[in-house]
Structure 1
């Protein structure tokens, strides 16, 4: 895209390259952290736009930003100045819509009135640079202040860069006058220079006779030859040194100090000039490193790296101290010298084998293992090549190689080393993947999350795990082909070129609380009146901030929290009833005598408020304070309260227990906690305590109307199921209405037919909901627009300002969902309700107002029976008899969910329940009707009789 097209933020400000801006995603995404300050380096087209000149005709969708750090981001030391920043030679490409507003950042030396500069809004300054890779701070000085350089190097440095980055101890040498060698008249760089302690002249260390091998140690000085000779002559002459008159002593005076010229005059034109001060940039950077570890001549190269550097690890400090070799004529026979041929471990000599020997190796290799995964393992192949190489060097036949025992004793180790590591358990894999998501490839931090594994095991497993992920991606590409690259932005039109581009989020995007509580209070300054209420970061007494505190936190990371006092507390009902006369103080003098000494029974002072406890939700993997995220005191399940429909008294947050742990005491439902919609757990899984495990959301279960249990996500994402109380997600109903297709379809993830499956929203795959959750599929809710003609018959809801029909979405993790707005389970709106709560209250509420629970169950059963009866009319063997006045021939009862027919031969038809799988025809003859209870009682008697007869025959 052409560079002359202006870019406008949502607030109307125009931004261009090298402007400083606030950058931040939405409030929920950045988790309450303040805005970041950055400099615009360049505007970029979409990532899928064509390369080269063709991509310039596309609208800008990305921007490259050079970041600034706040001192609190890189260290724990407190910094009172909220306008102080740390520069960085670090850039990142971000979405252009993350730009918020413009700001101004200049170097400290460019500001004439610092106090006036900090009083103006959106003004920052810097004088140091932080390198995020070596984690060290450097000084930043103007390039013109560097004088101790040759003219050609200094001119190039000044023409390209505005600032120079160097260590603090190097700054005096750089800003000093140019230093020339007194012997050769060439420039003296600091690492190769020595200064005479008497005449203060500089010399190259190699120009001194004899040459100096090292500089004098700290506390000692060096003198040149003329100065040394002169000093020796003075000492030999025994002349008395002349007495140097001391400097006149300044007498102290009580007079006030001389007044200065006063504070700088507040000149608005000067301040505006400082904001727009031109700054030179070379390849988009205004500074480069020119410190202790820089070769000055390398600055002339345009491709020289500008990043800060550290000392190279060379020299005796970083090398091993190897003793001298023994006398070759008296070499100890029991010592094997390292580094010789006998100490080299041969890993492979395949390249030296003949073609016939290589063919023999390939033939022998096929019979060593039948496992294809083992044969493709790099560790197994490496060990196989080593053993074949040992056999070739020892002239043994290749058929003698055996791979049964996969361990070997290395030359310099005492214990055998296994070829394969012990397989990682499921819990270790989950902890490893969580640590990778949290720390990235910082494997030392990952190892702390998996304490039972050593560092080498973590490194090796990381390689296998990463290769496995790449293999899955390659198999998907081979199966479906590479995904098409859609051009998400079309060519710019002439009108867009003239009008410019309007980008960026507004400053209040997702941060303003439209409807706070009845009596809101700012979490920082305790004020109760403001024009706008902003969302507050975590850890404050309230979840809102006033307009001033909210703006200060987002822009300057400055939040002065005033401690809570008695008068700031909300008035109680008792205090409201007390009325004071006009003119009386709110806090009158106490009638009690002041306590003069501490008593044993005196009330202790109130404890200091403790730090806010942050818990990580197992549903969304986001942290939240205790209250929003609940933790079971028994099994330690951690989940957002809105994801399980829990309402807890704030005073009882520490005593909350999940429903499974609560049922272990009350025994109101079944003690078998297996989900009715998922495959049954094996005996090994049942031995796990607790079961289901508490480190996953599958621990969150809800009771059903038959005293069984089902997972919360299974109940929510199964269309046929409803809740008696959708607000609390209590008592799941409708289990019998799930279609037979769901019960008889095989899950594509676990291969089990048992349980009920659900179809992916984007492909024909069907799977159990719990299996999809374990595999990391996408769970969420999508709001789809509704046509005006269907709005009367469609239930519509509103979430985060979007209105339409809300749908529960389960999508395979391989699908591309970047162009769809899918809300997560725990994503909340302005009122604090999660997407799961909004969906359940709108679509999962059972009709409790129209019918009793038992009547609703009977109606569902009637629907099933009617369907079965209609289907059986075409057949010659109807399975159920529905008459006007049926009567059981055994108990004479007229009331039963169903009546069954049996003939004289005791043939019968099974009940039409979802679990029935076979039907037996009834013979002709006189019909007898049995009620539901008697029918199954006769079946049980018949089964017991058959079992007893079998025992007698055996």
Structure 2
């Protein structure tokens, strides 16, 4: 008897079947504006309360198993310009059938003859890679018919069962090559157990050659068989003909795809989207990479998921020598793995019935608190203490639970077996963190600074169990809630009549705004249908075109904002009696929509629903270009400069977050430092150019270079420049206030030409990976990488080295700057805004440890005098001059005179003028002299 197939139709009238590709999405309120997900239908499932057996299969379907596809933006931060490319996955989930939206088509790249034409058609996607969500790695997907370097039985099995094969990128050339047989035994030799002759290009098992090879040649070296070696020696001895470097090797690997004009055949395109794809147990591909045993493919029960290298061997396990000296006490008696080194958690199984009854009576007298009696942590510790008493032959009456501490054998200090009770404020902060970050407990822990991450993880388990307990008690009292009609079991007659599933396109996301509505992406004011827009746009609606592109393709081409084009004169003409203000600018619009991946919703089992996402405003930091909540990311009230508080030295209370003002804007009101806020260690403007009294900022407040700090001489420096100049320190490193040490910067830094702007003005820093030198501000504008690195310190130098601990890594912290050519270096760098568990940024930790001036040793004037002492030494050239005169200020009195080559021979500059030529502005000479 053939299985009855019940048709399933969407609300738009399309029929969907198994192996069709569909858009899937929960209602707008649940998905919070994220685009549709693309998936393949694996099977339709009846309700959970449907009867078992054949009768249960003929019912009104309420669930569907979907094989997900990922968009590249879901799994990485790499920008992808092609909105039609997807990543396959061997990952499925059971969802509500009403989440199906519409049909789409997903085809492998090799099966598409005209890719540009394919992408021009709506609802068309393609893939050529696979992403594994468990090991978080991408793999290549090739057709199984292209696998040639395999025995016939294995290749036939792959082709018969699967349409595609998932492999690593480096395995593709070997797998698609011709069949490789050992030249000695004529048996297939896989790449892992074979070696290729560098002369004749034949393959051999490493055990078939004489003598057998113990290992493959190192990278960069080759191996030749005996005949080729002998032939090479004869050629060298004869010297009458050129050396033969090897025979050209033929390959059957698939040719590179041509770049000519694609074939535009409409009929061919329709055939490609309806090609039959082989599926074995509902999956069209399996893993066949470098960690696969080829013969295991013949077993139908073999796992098809991608794999990684096993963690066995000396790289992951410690091999302790037998003769190692153990300095711990009682080393001779306590052998490793013996009974004395094992922590016994429970020995109840060795108790007799009478002893067990005595233990139960003693346990009832330990506490009267009903909550403790049902606590897992308390019961675990009670069993542990009774077990220890039984093993040491002590009476059970001696066990008490007054002490909340316990001493474990593998720890030197006592620890609590139960966490301290959480207060109402901590619980409220924890629940607010869950509402803002979901189950990302490290981010939640930042909202509860009084608790460690371990306590937060344990409390999350108790909190979730408490919610489940409340739900179960509510079900016992009031019964299970009534299921909606779409999820109820239907009879055979109702099921055979067909069904319409899926929400309509306008359900929960179509709006009817006013006549002055504006699209948040393209700024159009005309559209037949308006859709809800994701968060982060200037308006809350999208036009029909932008709404479709965002929901289906996650593509949102945002047009930059500009000023209103309504002339002020026209407004004044209408209302001459009123004072009209100039038109305001529209709020800024992000270049892309939110990239947060929505949480998958499943109805396969009842579980606690995830907490609602927070609606707190998110600000984008101009240093790390990442979003953060208001408070962690501050916004200047005047210039709208946005930055993490930890990378600009701002300490702001919760009530002053909205009124925070950056240092540059604050100085315009207080005038405690110079109004000219240009950095003293960056290139100055060229001489001879007339500048205004208060020059504008060199960069608008949309760059991290807007963050500046005043110096001890009432000048200014960039925070970036002062942090990455080793000679510069701060009077208050916690707030990055009062920059000191400009005069102690080495002279070669001032005279070296910047490799970016090619100017010799200003002080330069050196790349950490090469000999290039450039200004810190120039490197930041060019997108060079700034960060911090922690180097391990030898035990002999730990007493003389300042060590810090950041994110569990201890050592000496140092600033790192890398050119774009070193983006792929293997350095472990921490970004400027990267935070540890305490909420401190890497820049804060570094400045607090290494950039604090010794304020307790001497006052500021004495510290400045000590820095200037080396500059008072007379130059040998100056000693030969009787009475030098400064060419600019005409003074004869100076600690040192310096020759000025640009002004001619025997022309000198005093120490002040020379210092200001290299550091300060020439306009400040009058104030100095």
TM-score using structure 2 length: 0.57
Q: Name the stretch that deviates more: 271-280 or 470-479.
A: 470-479
Partner of 1:205: 206
Structure 2 Cα separation of the partners of residues 399 and 324 of structure 1: 44
Structure 2 Cα separation of the partners of residues 438 and 203 of structure 1: 60
Partner of 2:517: 520
- RMSD, aligned α-carbons: 4.1
Structure 2 Cα separation of the partners of residues 364 and 490 of structure 1: 52
Quickly say closer, same or farther: Cα 1:233–1:545, change in 2 above 3 A: same
Structure 1 Cα separation of the partners of residues 514 and 357 of structure 2: 80
Q: CA deviation at 1:612?
A: 11
Structure 1 Cα separation of the partners of residues 9 and 193 of structure 2: 53
Partner of 1:413: 411
Partner of 2:51: 50
Maintained 8 Å contact 1:149/1:187 = yes
State the secondary structure of the residue aligned to 1:318. coil
Maintained 8 Å contact 1:62/1:96 = yes
Structure 1 Cα separation of the partners of residues 346 and 488 of structure 2: 55
Structure 2 Cα separation of the partners of residues 483 and 542 of structure 1: 39
Maintained 8 Å contact 1:613/1:626 = no
Q: CA deviation at 1:107?
A: 0.8
Partner of 1:839: none
State the secondary structure of the residue aligned to 1:43. strand
Q: CA deviation at 1:110?
A: 0.9
Q: CA deviation at 1:431?
A: 4.2
Quickly say closer, same or farther: Cα 1:241–1:458, change in 2 above 3 A: farther
Residues 740-774 of structure 1 deviation map (CA, whole Å, 9 limit, x = unaligned): xxxxxxxxxxxxxxxxxxxxxxxxxxxxxxxxxxx
State the secondary structure of the residue aligned to 1:420. coil
Residues 562-581 of structure 1 deviation map (CA, whole Å, 9 limit, x = unaligned): 11233xx36377535669xx
Maintained 8 Å contact 1:48/1:486 = no
Quickly say closer, same or farther: Cα 1:38–1:283, change in 2 above 3 A: same
Residues 524-578 of structure 1 deviation map (CA, whole Å, 9 limit, x = unaligned): 2222223322222222222222222222222212221111233xx3637753566
1:373 aligns with 2:371: yes
Quickly say closer, same or farther: Cα 1:84–1:463, change in 2 above 3 A: closer
Structure 2 Cα separation of the partners of residues 465 and 620 of structure 1: 12
State the secondary structure of the residue aligned to 1:66. strand
Partner of 2:381: 383
TM-score using structure 1 length: 0.55
Name which of 572, 575, 581 aligns with 2:570.
575
Structure 2 Cα separation of the partners of residues 327 and 625 of structure 1: 59
Structure 1 Cα separation of the partners of residues 364 and 412 of structure 2: 32
Partner of 2:297: 299
Residues 4-49 of structure 1 deviation map (CA, whole Å, 9 limit, x = unaligned): 3332222222222212122223333322222222222222222322
Partner of 2:745: none
Quickly say closer, same or farther: Cα 1:77–1:417, change in 2 above 3 A: same
Structure 1 Cα separation of the partners of residues 185 and 294 of structure 2: 19
Q: CA deviation at 1:214?
A: 3.4
Within 5 Å, give how 1:56-455 maps onto structure 2.
56-228=57-229, 231=232, 238-240=237-239, 242-243=241-242, 263-326=261-324, 337-433=335-431, 443-444=441-442, 446-455=444-453
1:9 aligns with 2:6: no
State the secondary structure of the residue aligned to 1:502. strand
Within 5 Å, give how 1:747-758 maps onto structure 2.
none
Structure 2 Cα separation of the partners of residues 561 and 55 of structure 1: 50
Q: CA deviation at 1:484?
A: 8.1
Q: Name the stretch that deviates more: 311-320 or 214-223.
A: 214-223
Structure 1 Cα separation of the partners of residues 238 and 404 of structure 2: 87
Structure 1 Cα separation of the partners of residues 426 and 305 of structure 2: 39
Quickly say closer, same or farther: Cα 1:169–1:437, change in 2 above 3 A: farther
Quickly say closer, same or farther: Cα 1:2–1:28, change in 2 above 3 A: farther
Q: CA deviation at 1:427?
A: 3.2
Partner of 2:455: 457
Maintained 8 Å contact 2:166/2:286 = yes
Q: CA deviation at 1:452?
A: 2.9
Quickly say closer, same or farther: Cα 1:409–1:156, change in 2 above 3 A: same
Structure 2 Cα separation of the partners of residues 95 and 393 of structure 1: 54
Q: CA deviation at 1:479?
A: 5.4
Residues 143-198 of structure 1 deviation map (CA, whole Å, 9 limit, x = unaligned): 10011111111111111111111111111111111122233322222222222333
State the secondary structure of the residue aligned to 1:124. strand
Quickly say closer, same or farther: Cα 1:452–1:323, change in 2 above 3 A: farther
State the secondary structure of the residue aligned to 1:316. coil
Maintained 8 Å contact 1:2/1:57 = no
Q: CA deviation at 1:482?
A: 6.7
State the secondary structure of the residue aligned to 1:89. coil
Q: CA deviation at 1:66?
A: 1.6
State the secondary structure of the residue aligned to 2:87. strand
Name which of 536, 539, 557 aligns with 2:533.
536
Q: CA deviation at 1:308?
A: 1.2
Partner of 1:730: none
Quickly say closer, same or farther: Cα 1:352–1:144, change in 2 above 3 A: same
Structure 1 Cα separation of the partners of residues 6 and 548 of structure 2: 31
Quickly say closer, same or farther: Cα 1:93–1:575, change in 2 above 3 A: farther
State the secondary structure of the residue aligned to 1:112. coil
Maintained 8 Å contact 1:58/1:489 = no
Maintained 8 Å contact 2:25/2:101 = yes
Residues 849-905 of structure 1 deviation map (CA, whole Å, 9 limit, x = unaligned): xxxxxxxxxxxxxxxxxxxxxxxxxxxxxxxxxxxxxxxxxxxxxxxxxxxxxxxxx
Q: Name the stretch that deviates more: 369-378 or 179-188.
A: 369-378
Residues 363-388 of structure 1 deviation map (CA, whole Å, 9 limit, x = unaligned): 44443333343344443344334434
Q: Name the stretch that deviates more: 541-550 or 72-81.
A: 541-550
State the secondary structure of the residue aligned to 2:502. coil
Quickly say closer, same or farther: Cα 1:426–1:511, change in 2 above 3 A: same
State the secondary structure of the residue aligned to 2:170. coil
Maintained 8 Å contact 1:150/1:178 = yes
Within 5 Å, give how 1:879-918 maps onto structure 2.
none
1:40 aligns with 2:38: no
Partner of 1:497: 496
Structure 2 Cα separation of the partners of residues 270 and 69 of structure 1: 27
Within 5 Å, give how 1:657-806 maps onto structure 2.
none
Name which of 553, 558, 562 aligns with 1:561.
558
Partner of 1:748: none
Quickly say closer, same or farther: Cα 1:433–1:2, change in 2 above 3 A: farther
Maintained 8 Å contact 1:538/1:625 = no
Residues 579-618 of structure 1 deviation map (CA, whole Å, 9 limit, x = unaligned): 9xxxxxxxxxxxxxxxxxxxxxxxxx9997679999x9xx
Maintained 8 Å contact 1:612/1:625 = no
Residues 879-937 of structure 1 deviation map (CA, whole Å, 9 limit, x = unaligned): xxxxxxxxxxxxxxxxxxxxxxxxxxxxxxxxxxxxxxxxxxxxxxxxxxxxxxxxxxx
Partner of 1:21: 22
Partner of 2:544: 547
Structure 1 Cα separation of the partners of residues 359 and 51 of structure 2: 50
Residues 325-375 of structure 1 deviation map (CA, whole Å, 9 limit, x = unaligned): 3489xx997896533343233444444444444444444444333334334
Maintained 8 Å contact 2:151/2:179 = yes
Structure 1 runs not aligned, ≥5 long = 248-259, 580-604, 628-635, 638-650, 652-660, 662-954
Quickly say closer, same or farther: Cα 1:558–1:208, change in 2 above 3 A: same
Structure 1 Cα separation of the partners of residues 571 and 495 of structure 2: 61
Maintained 8 Å contact 2:436/2:613 = no
State the secondary structure of the residue aligned to 1:100. strand
Structure 2 Cα separation of the partners of residues 389 and 279 of structure 1: 60
Structure 1 Cα separation of the partners of residues 398 and 496 of structure 2: 77
Structure 1 Cα separation of the partners of residues 335 and 611 of structure 2: 59
Structure 2 Cα separation of the partners of residues 626 and 292 of structure 1: 47
State the secondary structure of the residue aligned to 1:374. helix
Partner of 1:853: none
Greater CA radius of gyration, 1 or 2? 1
Quickly say closer, same or farther: Cα 1:332–1:303, change in 2 above 3 A: closer
